[in-house]
Amino acid sequence: MARELHLNLFIHARGHHEAAWRHPAASPLALTDIAYYRDVAQRAEAGLFDSIFLADQLALAEDLDHAARNWLEPITALAALAGATSRIGLIATASTTYTEPYNLARQFASLDHISGGRVGWNIVTSWMATAARNFGGAPPLTHAERYDRGEEFMQVVTGLWDSWAADAVLDDRAGGHYASPRRVRSIDHAGAHYRVAGPLNLPRGPQGRPVFVQAGSSDTGRRFAARHAEAVFTAHMEKSTAQEFYADLKVLAAAEGRAADQILILPGLSPVIGGTEAEAQRIWRELNALTDPEVGRIRLSNRFGGFDFSHLPLDRPLTVEDFPDPSEVQAARSRTEVIIGLVRREQPTLRALLQSLAGARGHFTMAGTPEQIADLIEDWFSTGAADGFNIMPPILPAMLDAFTAEVIPLLQRRGRFRRAYAGKTLREHYGLTLPPSRYEG
């Protein structure tokens, strides 16, 4: 059977370019209006995307004055979107650092039932110091501590989702038996971070458990993904690093006893699409002209754990020595490595770097025609760089519409993308097997 290309839509603000909220082609709806998300989700479903994804942030950003980055809490929003869609997968971020395992397990099991088996969980180990101040005020955990806590978190929630056998609910009205107690078991977890008795207080979901998604690309993050992730959202600014990441993660997954096709690698792609290359470049220039360099400087500082870049002039070429050592950064370490890799290769000015990151925060950006975008997708897919893409339109819904109207038909004619949904669940869209329960039998 031929490999199938997978496409996820990452819904972020009014688009992934940081100035998208100001662009006339962006949606006029408020970012707190569920109608906005419903509209974009339905457009993605009409385009036959595998899934949509809502990210999360657990603190108010410092660039509130000049950036539109506030949105609805994603798990709540997905519950509404489940009723507004029928086939597309629904993925939300939730933190292992600042969420109780029992609550998260209940929420995602409920969403899986509500949606008919279309839910995925993007697993994050939150790192922002501002988030730590909102959850008890203790100092932020180190990179290693976050992943250590995350590993135990995964043991607990997986146990809870497994605590009901698939056939536990009898619903025998005549005999008077709703569920079989023998098919529902406690987990009695007692670990370094959590003590959870279980079982979960609702039955096993249609998918067994949500599809596990993860985005860490550091060494620790890769090994965590190899053990747990079924889809990986990753950031690469060139194909060669994407190929290295792809090959390495498939090897790591095999070492964990997992099949290569049960972990999908989906690099981020933010396409600016025009009828001609010149038109696409014009839109790109329009967006960059609307950016505020100081907003970009704040975001760059946050990426490097609060490092102060205020002393750097905007128009001097950068060197690696202008940045802290990524191995010492306790924030999103993989993204810092992407940024430093770009600086090492291209020696951009700070202004140019900030404009590059404004497009999609370190993901691959491209301005071109539909044919050029389709060519890039097919090239990466066929040369060991991707199993599909996390599509990050720079302007929503305009660039999503251009992608579904112009790029997807090209991929379909080339035999790379579906012409209709074949399955009903996110697992079926992604070609993933149903996970067995550890308590079956």
Which H or E element spans position 249? helix 239-255
pLDDT of residue 141: 79
140-154, 171-185, 362-376, 402-416: which range is least confident on average?
A: 140-154
Residue of 333 and 368 predicted with greater confidence = 368
pLDDT of residue 64: 72
**How far apart, in whole angstroms, are the C-alpha atoms of residue 235 and residue 385?**
12
Domains of the chain: 6-273+363-430 (3.20.20.30)
Query: What crossing angle do the helices spanning 34-46 and 74-84 adopt, rounded to 10°?
Result: 50
395, 336, 399, 390: which is closest to 370 by C-alpha?
399
pLDDT at 184 over 70: yes
53-62, 323-332, 393-402: which range is least confident on average?
A: 323-332
Q: Output the pTM of the full model.
A: 0.89
6-15, 248-257, 330-339: which range is least confident on average?
A: 330-339
Q: How confident is the model at residue 310 (pLDDT cuts 50, 70, 90)?
A: confident
pLDDT at 388 over 90: yes
pLDDT of residue 92: 97
pLDDT at 337 over 80: no
Annotated binding-site members = 56, 93, 143, 147, 217-218
Q: What is the mean pLDDT of the chain?
A: 91
Q: How confident is the model at residue 330 (pLDDT cuts 50, 70, 90)?
A: low
Residue of 365 and 298 predicted with greater confidence = 365
pLDDT of residue 439: 64
Q: What is the pLDDT of residues 84-118, one digit of tens each?
A: 999 999 999 999 998 999 999 999 999 999 999 99
Q: How confident is the model at residue 370 (pLDDT cuts 50, 70, 90)?
A: very high
Annotated binding-site members for FMN = 56, 93, 143, 147, 217-218
User: Can you tell me the mean pLDDT for 14-28?
Assistant: 94
Contact 63, 296 (CB under 8 A): no
User: Can you tell me the mean pLDDT for 248-255?
Assistant: 97
331, 325, 151, 341: which is closest to 244 by C-alpha?
341
Going by their DSSP bridges, the two strands 169-172 and 177-179 should be labelled as antiparallel
Residue of 238 and 52 predicted with greater confidence = 52
Q: What is the 3-state secondary structure (H, E, C) of the chain?
A: CCCCCEEEEEECCCCCCCCHHHCCCECCCCCCCHHHHHHHHHHHHHCCCCEEEECCCCCCCCCCCCCCCCCCCHHHHHHHHHHHCCCCEEEEEEECCCCCHHHHHHHHHHHHHHHCCCEEEEEECCCCHHHHHHCCCCCCCCHHHHHHHHHHHHHHHHHHHHCECCCCEEEECCCCEEECHHHECCCCEECCCCEECCCCCCCCECCECCEEEECCCCHHHHHHHHHHCCEEEECCCCHHHHHHHHHHHHHHHHHCCCCHHHCEEEEEEEEEECCCHHHHHHHHHHHHHCCCHHHHHHHHHHHCCCCCCCCCCCCCECCHHHCCCHHHCCCCHHHHHHHHHHHHHHCCEHHHHHHHHHHHCCCEEEEECHHHHHHHHHHHHHCCCCCEEEECCCCCEHHHHHHHHHHHHHHHHCCCCCCCCCCCCHHHHHCCCCCCCCCCC
Q: How confident is the model at residue 77 (pLDDT cuts 50, 70, 90)?
A: very high
171-180, 213-222, 306-315, 352-361: which range is least confident on average?
A: 352-361
